[in-house]
Amino acid sequence: MSIRLYAAEAAASVRMSFADRGNFALQIAGMLINDVVFLALWVLFFAGFRSVGGWGLSDVALLLGLTMCIVGLSGALAGGYRDMAVSILRGDLDALLTQPKGVIFRLLARESIASAWADLAAGVFILALFADLSTRQIPLAALALAAGLTVYVSAAIVFASMAFWARGARSLARDLTDFMLLLSSYPGSVHQGFVKVAAFTILPAGFVVLTPVEMLRAPTLQGMAIVVGAAVVYAMLATGIFHVGLRRYRRGAFGA
């Protein structure tokens, strides 16, 4: 029931994002330019240096392609994650609580970010042309994408759920999500010490894309188990923390 409701609301949000065609085109163009420039910088880098910490151009392209696809899919089909903390703090949940179950799904589906389609297109382009993926790896790449998407959105929900306890989470939640994305955009070999620990715990950039990339580079059952297990754990964590906060919200004691 929740999945069907989510699909219907997400489809409505996508149609709404297409309504202003001029604005839609501008956002798409702007994001495409941003993605092309980012890719060009890496291509120029590898024109002078063959590898960085054992990562070549195809490895970085795989990382960037997966990251852009994850951001693109989450923004296009679950764009409400970006301002979920704001929705909580301004009381948008009041109306949702009177409707059928599935508050998280409805919060995620309430917005579709137009520029996310450019990220998705750029991600597919990079994976197809630069990531050196074979046809046999497509199912594994789909698994990596699904797992990374789950961890990314789940982590964003956890950050947004801080709004149930602190009003300062309005901007902090988005900052943490953006920082997680930043960590996901660079080869794992550059992360050392505390940053590496944070990338696999507090800001799970490691499980968003770094671990899935390692699984694609050297597929093993253990690697697949780690990728899938991380997705399940973070999804359960996000659901649990959100609903604990939701009970606090029902009592009128949130954001204090």
Encode pLDDT of 204-250 as tens digits: 988 999 899 999 988 999 999 999 999 999 999 999 999 999 998 88
Residue 255 has pLDDT above 60, yes or no: no
The residue extents of the domains of the chain are 2-250
231 vs 196, which has greater pLDDT?
A: 231
Q: pTM for the full model?
A: 0.90
Q: CA 201, CA 189: separation in Å to the nearest integer?
A: 17
How confident is the model at residue 191, as a pLDDT?
A: 64
When pLDDT is cut at 50, 70 and 90, the band that residue 17 belongs to is confident
More confident residue, 149 or 192: 149
Lowest mean pLDDT among 151-160, 175-184, 190-199, 236-245: 190-199
Range 37-58 average pLDDT: 80
Contact 53, 187 (CB under 8 A): yes
The residue among 41, 9, 7, 5 whose CA lies nearest residue 185 is 41
Max CA pair span of the chain: 60
- Give me the pLDDT at residue 43, please: 81
Q: Is the pLDDT of residue 190 over 80?
A: no
38-42, 68-72, 99-103, range with greatest mean pLDDT: 68-72
State residue 205's pLDDT score: 86
Please, which pLDDT band fits residue 1 given cuts at 50, 70 and 90?
very low
